Amino acid sequence: MGSLKNKEISSIITIEDVKRLLKNIGIQNGDVLEVHASLKSIGYILGGANALLDAILEVLGFEGTLVMSAHSIDNSEPAYFQNPPVDISLFKSIRENTPSFKGKFDDLSGMGQLAIALQKRPSVYFSSHPQVSMMAHGKHAKWITQSHPLNDMFGLKSPLAKMVELKAKVLLIGVEYNSCTGMHLGEYLSQKRPIVIQGSRMVVGSKEDWVKFLSYDFDSDDFNQVGRIMELDNKVSLNLLGNSMVKSFDLEYAVRSTQKYFEENF
């Protein structure tokens, strides 16, 4: 059986194809846009992640702002690790040896190729949260990322609330609603999740240390159901880019829908 890597390329996606789609679904100059994407699901993009990123930035223009997650997935309390879980005997070693949060120089391999491409661009700002940092590029990037308290991962003092204030839109390319970081704000507002003690390694003063902080036990698994409800309400634009389904919607609507879902079902 032949490898999929050797499969003949039968179609291509260009920067112009991406720009055309974005404009057709209402993305325009000056928008604030939260993006999550799976490049491998799309097909063959000429220029890869950088071409997709260039297309998005061109459509947003100088007045626009692109926001993406720059989460340090492993820089978190090991007691909550699930995929895979770790033995309790390793907790102390993990807390003492996890690399500290470095913002622009963190390992974002878990965030995907598009996030890595944005991370490398000049003039990208990072919020200071060691576990769930957000990065932004464009007109409002500095303001969106300038405040991100430890105990307010996805709350009213986080970048997510500022994105809602700026009437941000969301673009999901080849991923489901459980990838949408912005919907965590609705989860937060519902106050339906239990409070837990989280932790991350970060620079405190002149030294590195493991810092504990309070957080809700956030979990995005329920966001897919919220997304299906939004689709039934005709609040999501559904389109194709190559082999990928592209979903676009208003962040504020998604936040309110998530809050309502959690308040009614938990």
The mean pLDDT value of the chain amounts to 95
**DSSP percent split of the chain into helix, strand, coil, nearest 5:** 40, 20, 35
pLDDT band, residue 8 (cuts 50/70/90): confident
Query: To 5 degrees, how large is the angle CA 216–CA 131–CA 155?
Result: 40
Q: What percent of the chain has pLDDT over 70?
A: 97
Q: Which of 96-110, 219-233, 249-263 has the lowest average pLDDT?
A: 96-110
Distance, CA of 86 to CA of 240 (rounded, Å): 39
With a cut of 80, say whether residue 6 has pLDDT above it.
Answer: no
How much is the pLDDT for 2?
A: 43
Give Cβ neighbours of residue 107 (< 8 Å, ≥ 6 apart).
72, 99
pLDDT band, residue 103 (cuts 50/70/90): confident
Distance, CA of 208 to CA of 219 (rounded, Å): 28
Tell me how many helices (H) and strands (E) the chain has: 10, 9
* 0.85 exceeded by pTM: yes
Residue 4 DSSP symbol: G
Over residues 146-152, the mean pLDDT reads: 96
Domain ranges across the chain = 8-72+105-191+221-260
Q: Both ends of the chain: CA-CA distance in Å?
A: 48
